[in-house]
Homo-oligomer: A and B are copies of this chain.
Amino acid sequence: MFNHTKVLQYPARPDKPDALFAKKMQEILGGQFGEITVALQYLFQGWSARGEEKYKDLIMDTATEEIGHVEMIATMIARLLDGAPIKEQEEAAKDPVIGAILGGMNPQHAIVSGLGPRPTDSNGVPWNAGYIIASGNLLADIRANINAESQGRLQVARLYEMTEDQGVRDMLSFLLARDSMHQNQWIAAARELEEKNGVIVPGSFPRELEADNFSHSLINFSEGEDSKEGSWANGTAPDGGQFNYEQTPTAHGEKQELQPAPEYMYPK
């Protein structure tokens, strides 16, 4: 069960309207690694957690915070749209600055949401739940989270670069910090689990059941041998095995061919 506080976790107030940046900022609201993704991803992971309580609590702490980040970015977008020009006027069209805004803004910000945020990415594609990950394997999911916070912080950093609005940058500096913390915490959690269960997910599947002569070979499917010199082709692998390099890929299987189709499938 949840409760809501009307005050934002951190200020979300731009210096001035900017409909073009409002469009771009949609990416971190409703894009693949926007805040809707992390909020729902962590909620589903937390609600499905079947293991130790401290991990479940960590996930739910972070999930709940992220709903508040959706709120902050939604607020910022609405405020960036306040006062945006929307009419195609003769004069406007001739003013290159306004013309570029009218041509470049997200039309749904005017037509559909009436100057509100949209649950979409920066191109207007609706967020969908195919973005989120909750597998029931704790280490797998924490790796998903390390990735999500890395991609997310990268996008925030790029947005920071793309604006000079100090109000926007202030909020982004907070998001950058929280994404740093979230990377830190998930990395710490992953290290704990890797120590307990090993680095290969899932750790509980018996290694002897895999075709283990293929478990440590880098196979050279792309012409050129630059990859041969990497730490992934020689020496000890993270799981303790020995890496090796296969210069020429071998096909171990049979020809890719199928039986003729039955008549009732109407192959002709």
A268 touches B54 (CB 8 A): no
Residues of B within 8 Å of A99, CB to CB, are 96-97, 100
Copies of this chain per assembly: 6
**A38 contacts the other chain (CB 8 A):** no
A268 touches B58 (CB 8 A): no
A3 touches B249 (CB 8 A): yes
Residue of B nearest to A106 (CB): B123
Distance of A140 Cα from B150 Cα, bound (Å): 6
Residues of B within 8 Å of A176, CB to CB, are 205, 209-211
The answer to whether A268 and B202 touch (CB under 8 A), given A177-B210, A252-B9, is: yes
A257 to chain B, nearest CB (A): 8
List residues of A (156-203) whose CB comes within 8 Å of B's CBs. Answer: 157-164, 170, 173-174, 176-178, 180-181, 183-189, 191-192, 196-197, 199-203
Contact pick for A74, options B48, B127, B200, B255, CB 8 Å? B48
Distance of A133 Cα from B267 Cα, bound (Å): 14
A60 to chain B, nearest CB (A): 4
A154 touches B125 (CB 8 A): no
